[in-house]
Amino acid sequence: MHIRLSFLAVLCSTASMAQAETIKIYAAASLTNAITEIAKKYQEQHSETKIVPVFGASSALAKQIEAGAPSDLFFSADQDWMNYLVQKQKVSAKHVHAMLSNDLVLITPKTSTVQFKAVPQFNFAQSFQGHLCTGQMESVPVGKYAKQSLTKLGWLPNLTGRIVGTDDVRSALAFVERGECQAGIVYRTDAMISQKVKIAGVFPNSTHQPIIYPLALTSQGTAKPEAVKFYRYLKDQTQSKIIFKQYGFGVKG
């Protein structure tokens, strides 16, 4: 009898797992730690839902969603790629919420003595040796912001041939951590999670577009009640906002 009851319990558990609805959130690489933690806490409270995050550059993720990738939510590191999906009718503008903010910083290896002053008169190109890493400047949000700042400060022309464009912000961070780049431009939140780099300086907000992270349900996600619930949890719940703040993000209203 005991064996039979145990078998029934296993069957019920298996059935419960099989019935759990999978929700996919495509999120910017810089959100990796925060979203992973939030998803874990959410699943502890909602066993009927399995959250599957897919992380990468917002540009790459947006292109995947456009091509039909099964995404229920999209969390971008800039407004441009969210607008792109709105134009492609993969996201409805009414489901877009400006969620987070961030800062753009210069990082160097922990032992570096690189100096930094965010003024046009500062000779940035001569302040460090070797290469500067950031996201690809024509597509990856952090690279686009970096290009805007370097252009505004008048530093970009003197860096010709020394900029390494990476697939996403975490790749740029990794290059600096390994010493393959002597400097990198990433978000403050990425610098905060690393024990191997330090922030050499902050690019003034006036040198680049506002760094805003919009969150949205995709057209697929709007039809799934569990996706809508998770969207509201990310957007409205105090617990998720606390986690975002712990990782260094600014949380908008």
97 and 159 both lie in a single domain: no
With a cut of 50, say whether residue 228 has pLDDT above it: yes
133 and 194 both lie in a single domain: yes
216 and 202 both lie in a single domain: no
Query: Average pLDDT, stretch 92-121?
Result: 96
Q: Are 43 and 49 in contact (CB under 8 A)?
A: yes
Per-residue pLDDT reduced to its tens digit, 175-223:
999 999 999 999 999 999 999 999 999 999 999 999 999 999 999 999 9
Q: Are 182 and 131 in contact (CB under 8 A)?
A: yes
114 and 238 both lie in a single domain: no
182 and 129 both lie in a single domain: yes
Percent of the chain with pLDDT over 70: 92
Q: Give the pLDDT of residue 3.
A: 46
Q: ∠ CA 132-136-138 to the nearest 5 degrees?
A: 125
Residue 253 banded pLDDT, cuts 50, 70, 90: low
Number of neighbours of residue 112 by Cβ within 10 angstroms: 17
- Lowest-confidence pick of 5-19, 68-82, 190-204: 5-19
Write down the mean pLDDT value for the chain.
Answer: 93
How does 115-129 read in b/e, with b if 16+ C-beta sit within 10 Å? ebebeeebebeebbe
Return phi, psi of residue 184, to 5°. Answer: -150, 150
74 and 130 both lie in a single domain: no
CA distance 136 to 151: 15
108 and 24 both lie in a single domain: no
Residue 91 banded pLDDT, cuts 50, 70, 90: very high
Phi-psi domain of 135 (left: phi exceeds 0; alpha: psi -120 through 50; beta: other): beta
Q: Are 35 and 47 in contact (CB under 8 A)?
A: no
40 and 122 both lie in a single domain: no
Q: Give the pLDDT of residue 9.
A: 46
Q: Judge whether 149 is annotated as a binding position.
A: no
What stretch of H or E contains 184?
strand 183-187
What total number of domains does the chain contain? 2
Query: Average pLDDT, stretch 128-143?
Result: 97
With a cut of 70, say whether residue 21 has pLDDT above it: yes
132 and 197 both lie in a single domain: yes
Domain that holds residue 134: 104-207
Q: Judge whether 30 is annotated as a binding position.
A: yes
CATH of the domain at 49: 3.40.190.10
Among candidate residues 89, 108, 107, the one with its CA nearest the CA of residue 202:
107
116 and 139 both lie in a single domain: yes
> How far out from the chain centre does Cα 21 lie?
24
Q: Judge whether 187 is annotated as a binding position.
A: yes
Residue 252 banded pLDDT, cuts 50, 70, 90: confident
217 and 199 both lie in a single domain: no
Task: Single out the residue in 207, 224, 243 at which a domain terminates.
Answer: 207
Number of neighbours of residue 199 by Cβ within 10 angstroms: 15
Q: Give the pLDDT of residue 12.
A: 45
With a cut of 80, say whether residue 67 has pLDDT above it: yes
Q: Judge whether 101 is annotated as a binding position.
A: no
96 and 219 both lie in a single domain: yes
Percent of the chain with pLDDT over 90: 91
